[in-house]
Amino acid sequence: MNKKIYTSFKGLLIIYLPIYLLVSIIFYLITGITFPPTLYHYLVLLIWTVTTVIYLIIGYKNSYYEITKHEIVHHKGRNTLYYPFKDIIYIDEAYSEKKLSIRFVTRKGDERYLAHDPKKLVYKAMKEKVEKYWSLDEIKKQFPSLKL
């Protein structure tokens, strides 16, 4: 495949929106509690809105996946993470079907999350190419500190 698969914009928006609203309220309160709002209130909110939109676009464009024959390559800004299919021992399908992210466990006992792409291509590739799933009991026995 080796093409860029971008994460879901909806998922990214769900992460950014509460932060945007919370910080907007804080900025509003910092400039003083007045009604009706002053020019400073509007300027601060405008600057914060523009900044958030810029970060949202940058975050969307700089986070993508590539599916190769043996692994998933996740580009996150300047970082690149590799998830070989042979190192994935468990995919939490119940969680991954309902939520906006894929939850899986690696051989090292690391619990990882990857945001879904709009067509769920990464999730489908993982389900097809991960060979040997461990059972949930085996995971809990081997890694008792994991809360799945």
Task: For 8-45, write each residue's pLDDT tens digit.
Answer: 888 788 888 998 999 888 888 887 777 788 888 889 89
- Does residue 119 share a domain with residue 137? yes
- Does residue 132 share a domain with residue 75? yes
pLDDT at residue 22, rounded to an integer: 92
Residue 137 lies in a domain: yes
pLDDT at residue 32, rounded to an integer: 79
147: left (phi over 0), alpha (psi -120 to 50) or beta: beta
- Does residue 134 share a domain with residue 75? yes
- Does residue 71 share a domain with residue 44? no
- Does residue 83 share a domain with residue 55? no
Tell me the C-alpha distance between 127 and 96, whole Å. Answer: 11
CATH value at residue 91: 2.30.29
Residue 70 has pLDDT above 70, yes or no: yes
Residue 27 lies in a domain: yes
Residue 98 lies in a domain: yes
HSE toward the beta carbon, residue 132, CA cutoff 13 A = 5
pLDDT at residue 1, rounded to an integer: 52
Q: What is the pLDDT of residues 72-126, one digit of tens each?
A: 999 988 899 999 999 999 898 888 988 888 999 998 888 999 988 888 899 998 9
Mean pLDDT to the nearest integer, 48-64: 89
Which among 47, 46, 45, 52 has a CA at the least distance from the CA of 20?
A: 52
Task: Name the residue range of residue 75's domain.
Answer: 67-142
Please report, for residues 16, 26, 55, 112, the alpha-carbon distance to residue 19 in angstroms, rounded to integers and kept in the order given.
Answer: 5, 11, 12, 23
Whats the size of the chain, residue-wise? 148
pLDDT at residue 49, rounded to an integer: 92
**Boundary (domain end) residue, out of 22, 37, 61:** 61
Q: Give the residue, 112 or 131, on which the prediction is more confident.
A: 112
Residue 94 lies in a domain: yes
Q: Please state the domain count of the chain.
A: 2
Q: Give the residue, 57 or 10, on which the prediction is more confident.
A: 57
pLDDT at residue 47, rounded to an integer: 92
**Boundary (domain end) residue, out of 29, 45, 61:** 61
pLDDT at residue 110, rounded to an integer: 87
Which among 46, 55, 40, 54 has a CA at the least distance from the CA of 24?
A: 46
pTM recorded for the entire structure:
0.75
- Does residue 137 share a domain with residue 71? yes
pLDDT at residue 2, rounded to an integer: 61
pLDDT at residue 82, rounded to an integer: 94
- Does residue 35 share a domain with residue 97? no
- Does residue 122 share a domain with residue 89? yes
Contacting residues for 148 by C-beta, under 8 A, at least 6 apart: 90, 92, 103, 105, 111, 136, 139, 140
- Does residue 99 share a domain with residue 55? no
Residue 147 lies in a domain: no
Residue 148 lies in a domain: no
